[in-house]
Amino acid sequence: MVPAKRWMSAAGALASVLALAGVPDLAQAAGRCGDPAQRPWCDARLGPDQRAALLLARLTADEKISLMATDDPLGGPLGGFSENAHADTNNGIPRLGVPPVYMADGPAGVRQGKATALPAPIALAAGFDPAAARRYGGTVAWEARHRGNDVIFGPTVDVLRTPLNGRTFEGLGEDPYLSAGLGASWVQGAQKQGVLASVKHLAVYAQESDRLALKMKVAPRTLREIYLPPFEAAVKTGGTATVMCGFGQLNGRWACEDGSVLNKILRTEWGFKGFVVSDHTAVHDAVAGATGGLDMELPVGMKFNAWNLKNKVPQQVIDGAARNILRTMFAHGVFDRPAYANDLTRIDRTASRTAARQLAESGMTLLQNTGGALPLKSPRSIALIGKGANEVPSGFGSAQVQPFSTVTPRKGIAQRAGAGAQVAYDDGRDHRAAADAARKAQVAIVFATDTQGEFFDKSCLALTCARDPLKGDQDGLISAVAAANPNTIVVLETGGPVLTPWAGRVKGIVAAWYPGQQGGEALARVLYGDVDPGGRLPVTFPVAAGDAPTAGNPAQYPGVNKTVAFSEGVFVGYRHYDAKRIKPRFPFGHGLSYTTFRYGGLAVTPTGVQATVTNTGSRTGVAVPQLYLGLPSPGAAVPQPPRQLKGYQKVTLAPGRSARVTFPLDRRALSYWDQAGGGWKVAKGCYRVGVGPSSRDLPLTGAFAQGGGAC
């Protein structure tokens, strides 16, 4: 083994001394590459392609292959508990100044010792705000950097197919357009901090059940319109440096060996110039992986080693992978800077805490508010009921973070309520005792949580899940409390949609998601109206489990003989509910403000839609006007969803104020994927326009014709 870390820290120390002495350029040059006179690829004035070519010519065949795998069999989703436990490490090639590359999980904060636990990515999705996504990615990457990492595994942009997916909390919801915009912004924010993002998991990864062996049958149109757009945006708009391929087979090819995606779509069509890493243990065959477009195997070269690759694949394949890796490292300055120090003191925890709180506030989604029960009107007594009041829930697996510190809802609410109010707590195990506590208080707030994470799907969509006995009968608890106190508010701290059969019996429902380490503080501020609830649903909440996409069809989910047919095609998420005319409990895009808004002034052209939103209430509030298009179908073989999200904007408005919002439309926004022609096509016909506060509340409607069609 190469003593990479010792070597690295010596170079780092030299660079720090030079930096302290006020010679930053020399410190840079000291970087890790070496003297350009001896090592011409260390000349930072040359372009990354040229530098990679110069260096490649000096590597032995074995050295090239050694770059193609990380060197750390431990770590991964079960590791990360110690401060130095990177998820993966590529030792580099010290002989020629190729620095080691350290990598960390993940999409909700750094999984390496303690870190700032941001609200779950699904809460970020609920924020409907690309600027928030940039800040989110930037916060994660900043901490990853100061834990000594060069690469962060995130964001997770796999579009949600079934709300039973154990990784629902970790993704950005059920809409490709929303996921694409937020994912690309996340990548930009992260890479601005000097860390390489790794968007994951290409191409389709929709369930935990049988995830390692799943055979997925997905039509090209479904792939292009639903599952690929977030990756495409991460590459084209976000400029992601790396991509992680996933588990399972797509139409007969393992994800990390699938040349039709990795070579053809990712590199040739999208122009990706970075490198592809495999998910842990996702490589099945070395030759298929290397020729299929995988560059680096994680966590260790079980397949990508000299035995399997040397003289078994053309040298140009190995050269290609090594070049992709080196070129990316040059392009992102990895050779030209000192190693990042694993130094907690450089993390500004106050700034991270503020980010965690504000991101949580911006994703908190007010689902129901009967009679203006919220915001709270400074009640003198509050009963907090349910264990969730005393916890900071999170999903588990590679997206779990060990928080630096936490504020539980109980703590946050008690602090906000102040000394003048009584805040009682009951863990909710005994429903009668909980009802008694509720009866004695002016307001009862019940907390309900779900269990989610990597490795398993959820066993049911209800809060009270027969196969999740640890949670107890949460639906029964809510009903008992609601019967005892007419002012009952439910706070859902779940990673995704759950059933809410008691909705008609409670006044308020807040989807707080897994709100992260500052969640209790953010929740208190939302409940008291210090801040408007900023969230809108990035996922549909169904009335019944059977209403959800893929429900009741084992061939669709969880699969038969480990084979899953994506036969619903593009009818994923709200597209499914809309096409089947199923009324959701809470539709995609829904979320209330404490004020009211009026929509007007619709102006429609094929290149853009404009509308005016006005705050008609008496408080400052957040509106998220959304644009949906109903595309004309070019024929029975290409059924079109009734509407698809094509634009949104988050605006904060004072009482009486208006904002004119513009949603530009490009050709792609009007296109469907034409399977026969293998390209994007605009159908002839009438394009229906809807603008409003949710996918099921579109007060402004219009239309325009395209391709010689008429309306």
Tokens of 686: 């009438």
Residue 49 is among the residues annotated as catalytic for this protein:
no
Look at residue 491 and give its three-state secondary structure: strand
DSSP class of residue 38 equals T
Q: How far is the CB of 85 from ligand BGC (least distance, A)?
A: 11
Q: Which residue has the tokens 């070019």?
A: 634
C-beta separation of 500 from 541 below 8 A: yes
Establish if 547 lies at the interface with ligand BGC (CB under 6 A).
no
Q: How far is the CB of 275 from ligand BGC (least distance, A)?
A: 15
How far apart, in whole angstroms, are the C-alpha atoms of residue 153 and residue 79? 14
How far apart, in whole angstroms, are the C-alpha atoms of residue 251 and residue 218? 7
Q: Which residue has the tokens 């109980």?
A: 410
Based on CB atoms, which residue is closest to ligand BGC, 108 or 123?
A: 108
Based on CB atoms, which residue is closest to ligand BGC, 324 or 398?
A: 398
How far apart, in whole angstroms, are the C-alpha atoms of residue 21 and residue 27? 9
Contacts of 600 (CB under 8 A, 6+ apart): 611, 612, 614, 700
Establish if 280 lies at the interface with ligand BGC (CB under 6 A).
yes
Look at residue 217 and give its three-state secondary structure: strand
H-state helical runs in 429-573: 431-439, 474-484, 519-527
Q: How far is CA 490 from the centre of its chain?
A: 25
Look at residue 202 and give its three-state secondary structure: strand
CA angle 498, 377, 657 (to 5 degrees): 85
Q: How far is the CB of 147 from ligand BGC (least distance, A)?
A: 15
Q: How far is the CB of 364 from ligand BGC (least distance, A)?
A: 26
Establish if 336 lies at the interface with ligand BGC (CB under 6 A).
no
Establish if 279 lies at the interface with ligand BGC (CB under 6 A).
yes
Q: How far is the CB of 206 from ligand BGC (least distance, A)?
A: 13
Based on CB atoms, which residue is closest to ligand BGC, 91 or 595?
A: 91
Q: How far is the CB of 451 from ligand BGC (least distance, A)?
A: 18
Based on CB atoms, which residue is closest to ligand BGC, 64 or 200?
A: 200
Based on CB atoms, which residue is closest to ligand BGC, 195 or 522?
A: 195
Establish if 87 lies at the interface with ligand BGC (CB under 6 A).
yes
Establish if 106 lies at the interface with ligand BGC (CB under 6 A).
yes
Considering only 41, 128, 142, 153, the residue that binds ligand BGC (CB under 6 A) is 153
Look at residue 197 and give its three-state secondary structure: strand
CB count in 10 Å sphere of residue 22: 8
- Per CB under 6 A, contacts with ligand BGC among 455-474 are none
- Per CB under 6 A, contacts with ligand BGC among 190-249 are 200
How far apart, in whole angstroms, are the C-alpha atoms of residue 547 and residue 683? 30
- Per CB under 6 A, contacts with ligand BGC among 508-527 are none
Considering only 12, 31, 48, 76, the residue that binds ligand BGC (CB under 6 A) is 76
Q: How far is the CB of 213 from ligand BGC (least distance, A)?
A: 14
Mask for 611-630, x = binds ligand BGC (CB under 6 A): --------------------
Contacts of 68 (CB under 8 A, 6+ apart): 290, 295, 296, 297, 301, 304, 309, 318, 321, 322, 325
Establish if 338 lies at the interface with ligand BGC (CB under 6 A).
no
Q: Which of 279, 336, 427, 450 is catalytic?
A: 279
Q: How far is the CB of 470 from ligand BGC (least distance, A)?
A: 23
Q: Where are the beta strands (DSSP E) in 220-371?
A: 242-245, 249-250, 253-254, 275-278, 365-369
Based on CB atoms, which residue is closest to ligand BGC, 110 or 435?
A: 110
Based on CB atoms, which residue is closest to ligand BGC, 177 or 396?
A: 396
Residue 511: which of 531, 488, 532, 495 has the closest Cα?
A: 495
DSSP class of residue 260 equals I
Distance in Å from the first CA to the final CA of the chain = 69
How far apart, in whole angstroms, are the C-alpha atoms of residue 576 and residue 247? 26
Q: How far is the CB of 702 from ligand BGC (least distance, A)?
A: 42
Based on CB atoms, which residue is closest to ligand BGC, 165 or 695?
A: 165
Based on CB atoms, which residue is closest to ligand BGC, 87 or 448?
A: 87
Q: Which residue has the tokens 């009211």?
A: 596
Quote the crossing angle between the two packed helices 519-527 and 349-363, to the nearest 10°.
50
Establish if 453 lies at the interface with ligand BGC (CB under 6 A).
no
- Per CB under 6 A, contacts with ligand BGC among 479-508 are none
Based on CB atoms, which residue is closest to ligand BGC, 151 or 392?
A: 151
Considering only 12, 31, 48, 77, the residue that binds ligand BGC (CB under 6 A) is 77
440: exposed, middle or buried (C-beta count within 10 Å: 0-12, 13-18, 19+)? middle
Q: How far is the CB of 200 from ligand BGC (least distance, A)?
A: 6
Tokens of 681: 């096509």
How far apart, in whole angstroms, are the C-alpha atoms of residue 12 and residue 193? 18
Q: How far is the CB of 632 from ligand BGC (least distance, A)?
A: 39
Q: How far is the CB of 124 from ligand BGC (least distance, A)?
A: 17
Q: Which residues pair with 423 in a beta bridge?
A: 382
Based on CB atoms, which residue is closest to ligand BGC, 107 or 293?
A: 107
C-beta separation of 198 from 153 below 8 A: yes
DSSP class of residue 503 equals G
Give the count of residues interacting with ligand BGC (CB under 6 A): 11
Based on CB atoms, which residue is closest to ligand BGC, 182 or 421?
A: 182
H-state helical runs in 31-172: 48-56, 61-67, 121-126, 130-145
Mask for 154-193, x = binds ligand BGC (CB under 6 A): ----------------------------------------
Q: How far is the CB of 396 from ligand BGC (least distance, A)?
A: 11
Based on CB atoms, which residue is closest to ligand BGC, 150 or 361?
A: 150
Considering only 72, 105, 174, 457, the residue that binds ligand BGC (CB under 6 A) is 105
How far apart, in whole angstroms, are the C-alpha atoms of residue 465 and residue 474? 9
What φ, ψ does residue 46 adopt, rounded to 5°?
-80, 160
Look at residue 150 and give its three-state secondary structure: coil
C-beta separation of 682 from 667 below 8 A: yes
C-beta separation of 632 from 686 below 8 A: yes
Tokens of 474: 């949460």
Considering only 249, 398, 474, 518, the residue that binds ligand BGC (CB under 6 A) is 398
Residues that bind ligand BGC (CB under 6 A): 76-77, 87, 105-106, 153, 200, 279-280, 398, 454
Q: Active-site residues: which are they?
A: 279
